[in-house]
Structure 1
Amino acid sequence: GASPNVFVVPAQSDIKTMPELIAKAKAHPGKLNWTSPGAGTTPYLAGEVLKLRTGISMQHIPFAGAGPATTAALAGQVDLYTANIGSLMGAIDAGKLRPIAVTSRERWPDLPDVPSLDELGVKEAISDTFQGVFAPAGTPQAVVDRLAKELTLILNRPDTRQKFVKAGLPVVAEGPEVFRARIAREVPMYKAIVDQAGLKIQYTHAARTMQIR
């Protein structure tokens, strides 16, 4: 399944729209901060793309996962938070977080009043978060084919699709070849973003963590 990322601000923020956030960030370079579920995730890269495409400067506050990042956003400790749309719908519906833009090409059905970055004139900023199933390299093709067939049958069941949609992750079960093509297409795309943003991978062996700076 796949769904776009969403940019949100705390409910108590004076920022109401993405144009307001961009204007404020340009007026105060490097003063605004933002967070994501983690460095290297697609929501994190969506934030880096926003910075690249609009020329703004913001400080990324790293958190170890979506839980702490969401908690910080709810508490008003960050100016902007970007995450997968499905993970934030509960807080958005409760009025605890204010969505100001989505990264899909068009508006997302669950947030019809929230514009897309593309609609706002921020081009080449489309991204989403997807879930997929991988098998170890060297797995016999017959096994891959059987797994794909059975998983596709399960994912296309009405009750299964409904559960995924409710979680904000519509099912995309198009088979191994389509999935492989997507990965082959996106790897160089994200590599280009990493290079343009000047991001560097830093391994901390003691903590077994990876940070992108």
Structure 2
Amino acid sequence: MRDNKGLLPSRRQILKAAGLAAGAAAAPMLTPGRAFAATYPERPIRIIVPFAPAGPTDIMARIVGQSLGDALGGNVIVENRPGASGNIGIGYVAHAEADGYTLLVVSSAYVVNPSLFARIPYDPSKDFAPITELGTTPNMIVVSPTLGINSIAELFARAKAKPDELNYASPGAGTTPHLSAELLKIVGQVQITHVPFSGAAPAIQALLAGTTQMAVAALPAALPFVQSGEIKALALTGERRWNDLPTVPTMIELGYKDFIAETAQFFFAPAKTPPDIVTRLATKTMQVLKQPEVIAQLHANGYDVAADGPDALRKYVESQVPKWRDVIARAGIKPV
């Protein structure tokens, strides 16, 4: 009979193996992503904002980030990395370690820049994992009360009768207000001269001073002056009217189908972030966006909450990149 040295397991070996197998069966089966998610976050999370402090994107990131830190049981830090119309900060996060600790809050520049620049440091469809859209604010088409124009129809009639007379201020070339105005010119088949400024505030000040006859700006910048009567709002470019401006119609209401040109804010992680961490971030962020105090803060800053999750954001990006590519091409804006 052959002995069991090296050939048959001993009783002790059998019992030991059985014990290990039982222990393995009792232990939870954690994939690397789930193991990370179970303990995430273990250190502060950085939200990169690719624009200067105190702007709309920065305000959005700080409002959401503070409550998100509480919801996750960790610390969330907002870090500004401005430059190149947002491309510097976006590119930084695209190539950051995909561990859930470096995230991105970014505006509609994310979907516009691929058509404005010949080269950008990110691929909008491949380099990021969508978490959720955060909020949207419409752009507003406003004029000086002294211009004697009270509607979009009157604006188009004046522009056609005197094509060299009107000009408009915007917060800068390539911004969604600028592109909203270019879309307005396309649908109205009119020519209105663009006068770019370095931000929404100087664009509105130029209108107030009479330097320009009209302006297109994000709602938060123009709202106080519309409410005071210093400037007149002709239309909004969002999906619906704004609660604080019940008499101002949308372009859609005026008969311009699909004229939606909002400034949106998005929340992304680098593309290879573990799916369970992305899911946790999305779940907690959407919970935060349903808190009444957060909704109130965002509305006070001119935002409607948008919290539809990763799939909705992915589809939104897929629709917006070609939309703005078409507007930019039809407006004759050349990539730089």
Question: Which TM-score applies when normalising by structure 1?
Answer: 0.87
Match for 1:141: what amino acid?
A: P
Partner of 2:259: 125
Classify 1:13/1:44 alpha carbon distance in 2 versus 1 (closer, same or farther; 3 Å).
same
The within-5 A match list for 1:13-92 is 13-92=147-226
Give the stretch that moved more between structures: 4-13 or 135-144: 135-144
Unaligned runs of 5+ in 2: 1-134
Determine the C-alpha separation between the residues in 2 that align with 1:91 and 1:195: 33
Q: 1:168 aligns with which of 289, 302, 323?
A: 302
Unaligned runs of 5+ in 1: 203-213
Bigger Rg, which one? 2
Give the stretch that moved more between structures: 168-177 or 3-12: 3-12
Q: 1:194 aligns with which of 298, 317, 328?
A: 328
Partner of 1:110: 244
Partner of 1:207: none
Calculate the aligned-residue CA RMSD, in Å. Answer: 1.7
Partner of 1:206: none
Q: CA deviation at 1:69?
A: 0.9
Q: CA deviation at 1:106?
A: 4.1
Determine the C-alpha separation between the residues in 2 that align with 1:34 and 1:11: 14
After superposition, give the CA deviation of every residue in 1:50-95 in whole Å (9 maximum; x if it has no partner).
Answer: 1111110011001111121121122121111111223321111111
Partner of 1:135: 269
Match for 1:54: what amino acid?
A: G
SS at match of 2:281: helix
The question of 1:8 aligning with 2:142 is answered yes
After superposition, give the CA deviation of every residue in 1:172-205 in whole Å (9 maximum; x if it has no partner).
Answer: 1111111111111111111111112221123xxx
Question: Which TM-score applies when normalising by structure 2?
Answer: 0.57
Determine the C-alpha separation between the residues in 2 that align with 1:106 and 1:64: 28
Q: Could you tell me the percent identity over the aligned residues? A: 39
Extract structure 1 runs of 4+ deviating beyond 6 A.
Answer: none
After superposition, give the CA deviation of every residue in 1:150-186 in whole Å (9 maximum; x if it has no partner).
Answer: 2222221111011111222011111111111111111
Determine the C-alpha separation between the residues in 2 that align with 1:38 and 1:137: 30
Match for 2:164: what amino acid?
A: G
Determine the C-alpha separation between the residues in 2 that align with 1:123 and 1:27: 25
After superposition, give the CA deviation of every residue in 1:113-157 in whole Å (9 maximum; x if it has no partner).
Answer: 122222323334222111122223332222222222222222211
Match for 1:8: what amino acid?
A: V
Q: CA deviation at 1:107?
A: 3.2
Determine the C-alpha separation between the residues in 2 that align with 1:68 and 1:74: 10
Determine the C-alpha separation between the residues in 1 that align with 2:144 and 2:214: 7
Aligned residues between the structures: 202
Query: Are the counterparts in 1 of residues 238 and 261 from structure 2 also a CA contact under 8 Å?
Result: yes
Q: 2:317 aligns with which of 183, 192, 195?
A: 183
Match for 1:169: what amino acid?
A: Y
